[in-house]
Amino acid sequence: ESIKIWAFGGSTTQGNICGKNSSSWTTEITKINNNINIHNFGESGIDSEKSLYYLRENILKKKVPKMVIWAHKVNEINIIYQGVKPNNETTKYFISNQRERKLKYTVQKLDVTLKSNFLSYKILENFILSLSRKLIRSFGKEHINKNLTYEDFEYASIHYKINVSKAIKLSKENGIEKFILLSLPTRSDYEKKMKNLFFPHYYERVKELDKDDYVSFIDISAHPKVMNDKNLFCDEIHKTLLGNVAVAEILNEYLVKN
């Protein structure tokens, strides 16, 4: 009997970014292991908040998998550039001072009120959001604004943790047997760039989430097979066919053993 898996992530999970033969790790793992039936929910540019929506939407259809693989990482800093819907949980977690938190949340609610009532505001907001998405997709030097602070990256990681915690809870409640957090590899220069920016916060949140026995963490980015091999990437984060095959082989080895 095949193992049904749902995979969530951004463009590095969606795949097929590095030309017509680049493939995806989800496709390659099914070629290696005929016992795996994987549905790829990966979508270019999205973060964990959108995948949480997809997870909830598909669970409602009562066709749950045996396992969820959650491969979000790089796109989690999108929130810094694009903003987020008012999320009292994130604000409460991040801003300990109650008075400051109340003011922050009031401003967020006012922002939503404006969006709900003024067409011109909506048009302007959509234009800015669209423009910001285009600007960050190149994943070049402009992807990381020099004015970003420690707190910006920490906030993004907390937003990630809250979304993942909700996804884990949903999975448990609906009979999904296992939830895997997957850290996909990026090119060595990008790893170096993010080493003192977002990645430390990401790993701290993953460490907190991994305390749950229901959750497993697989860090493929630290595997010797994918480190310092530029042939596996066509840019800083997207994998070639060889890169996707390498990820699939490492992940399959873990799944077979466990």
| Residue 112: CA count within 13 A, CB half-sphere | 9
Per-residue confidence (pLDDT) for residue 113, from 0 to 100: 53
Dump pLDDT digits (tens) for 187-236. Answer: 988 888 898 889 999 999 999 999 999 999 999 998 988 877 778 999 99
CA distance 76 to 88: 18
Indicate if the pLDDT at residue 93 is higher than 90.
Answer: no
The span from the CA of 241 to the CA of 193, in Å, is 24
Highest mean pLDDT among 83-92, 95-104, 131-140, 151-160: 151-160
Q: Label residue 84 by pLDDT band (50, 70, 90).
A: very low
pLDDT band at 81 (very low <50, low <70, confident <90, very high): low
DSSP classification of residue 240: -
Query: Of 125 and 174, which is predicted with more confidence?
Result: 174
**Which DSSP helix (H) or strand (E) runs through 178?**
strand 178-183
- Residue 128 to residue 122: CA distance in whole angstroms: 10
Q: How far apart are CA 54 and CA 132, in angstroms?
A: 23
Report pLDDT for 86: 41
Residue 85 in this model has a pLDDT that exceeds 50 = no
Task: Flag whether pLDDT at 138 surpasses 50.
Answer: no
Chain segment 175-185, per-residue pLDDT in tens: 999 999 999 99
Tokens found for residue 239: 């994998």
3-class SS at 181? Answer: strand
Task: Report the distance separating Cα 30 and Cα 227, nearest Å.
Answer: 23
Residue 134 pLDDT > 60: no
**Least reliable range by pLDDT among 48-52, 96-100, 162-166:** 96-100
Q: What is the mean pLDDT of residues 84-108?
A: 49
Closest C-alpha among 174, 142, 154, 220 to residue 59: 174
More confident residue, 64 or 91: 64
Tokens of 140: 């070049």
Extract the tokens encoding 224.
Answer: 């010797």
